[in-house]
Amino acid sequence: MKKVVILLAFFLLVTLGASCKKGYPSERKVFSLVIDNEETLLTAIRELQKIETGNTFTYISTTYKSPIYTYGRENYDDISGLYTAKYVDGDYIYTAIDNAAIEEMMKIKGLISVYVYNDRIEFDYKGHGGFFSSAYCGFIYTERDNFIDFENPNVTKEGNGWLWRQENSDNSYYKEEIIDYFYYYEARY
């Protein structure tokens, strides 16, 4: 009986660990997504850059791709479709928005959500989390010249991009330029 329990536990752990990688997109899919949708993305980016973020970020998605979860604190049942979430005084405030360019961008297959910061816009493509690890990828738009921190000793050249690894950990972050101002990213925790 003890052997059966150990075998079942091992099988469960292996299955959970493998499921983190199942369906994870190749970076080439993200590259193609940016190149094939460049005009739509740039039109939406001009609208996204108008959003005031303050000292934090603004999250954007649609209720079709990322439902609003408030855990009973607020009721946002009236929001359907495109919305923003801003972190204010320890809580998220959700607001429906009407913007044709951003709505069109959110129709891009695989694009889940967008984070607007003062110096960059981060587009989440796919992610998988599991018992042992999590991995997320997408792309970033930024006009910063020094987006890759070459001075950081934990940043090394890898392939066509740059890899940051946290010391004494398996956490890593990879960046690679796709086209001007657009960078592929992959984060693993």
Listed by start position, the domains of the chain span 23-188
Burial class (CB in 10 A: 0-12, 13-18, 19+), 104: middle
First to last CA, the chain: 35
Q: Which amino acid is at 2?
A: K
What confidence score (pLDDT) does residue 19 get?
Answer: 31
| Residue in 64, 119, 59 with CA at minimum distance from that of residue 94 | 59
Burial class (CB in 10 A: 0-12, 13-18, 19+), 48: buried
Would you give per-residue pLDDT tens digits along the chain (189 residues)? Answer: 544 334 333 333 333 333 333 344 578 899 999 999 999 999 999 999 998 887 788 999 988 888 887 766 677 888 889 999 988 888 888 999 999 999 999 999 989 899 998 889 999 987 666 656 788 889 999 988 666 665 677 788 888 888 888 888 888 888 999 999 999 998 888
